Amino acid sequence: MTSDRFLAGDVVWAPDPYRTGSNPRPWLVLSADAVPYRGEEYICAGLTLSDLPANVAVTESDWVAGYNPEKLSYCSPWVLATIKHDAVANPQGQLTDEFTRRIIARSSEYLSGDIEKQH
């Protein structure tokens, strides 16, 4: 775990709050500054290796740093969690601002119920 704060676009490994006892999984930080406990919590979207129909592929051009050419990742914009800074096991890298904003917009569509109208 690092003592440095993470920012929107960072990819970190942390426990999956929906699976007790599971190994850490990658998370895309969507919001780091607009939360009540800045530097202590992050709103994140789950990353996976599963190519599910509504997932968004994370391509090589979406990575600023931390790209693994052996594994194509996908972001699930409906799998949202608040991740505690102290729970982060390892930072992996960073995704582009454009990709991060696209996931934020897709997550907002799920939260508002507008996703069915758009997709």
Per-residue pLDDT, 2: 56
- 4 within a domain of the structure (yes/no): no
Tell me: pLDDT of 58 over 60.
Answer: yes
The CATH number covering residue 35 comes to: 2.30.30.110
- 2 within a domain of the structure (yes/no): no
Per-residue pLDDT, 76: 97
- 1 within a domain of the structure (yes/no): no
- 119 within a domain of the structure (yes/no): no
Whole-angstrom Cα distance, residue 55 to residue 32? 22
- 5 within a domain of the structure (yes/no): no
pLDDT in tens, 19-32: 887 789 999 999 99
Per-residue pLDDT, 1: 43
In this prediction the pTM is 0.92
- 29 within a domain of the structure (yes/no): yes
Number of domain units in the chain: 1
Domain hosting residue 26, numbered range:
10-114
Tell me: pLDDT of 36 over 70.
Answer: yes
Per-residue pLDDT, 117: 55
- 3 within a domain of the structure (yes/no): no
Q: Which of 44, 43, 81, 75 is nearest to 62 (CA)?
A: 75
- 66 within a domain of the structure (yes/no): yes
The residues near 56 (Cβ < 8 Å, ≥ 6 apart) are 74, 75, 77, 102, 103, 106
pLDDT in tens, 65-119: 999 999 999 999 999 999 999 999 999 999 999 999 999 999 999 999 987 654 5
Measured in residues, the chain has a length of 119
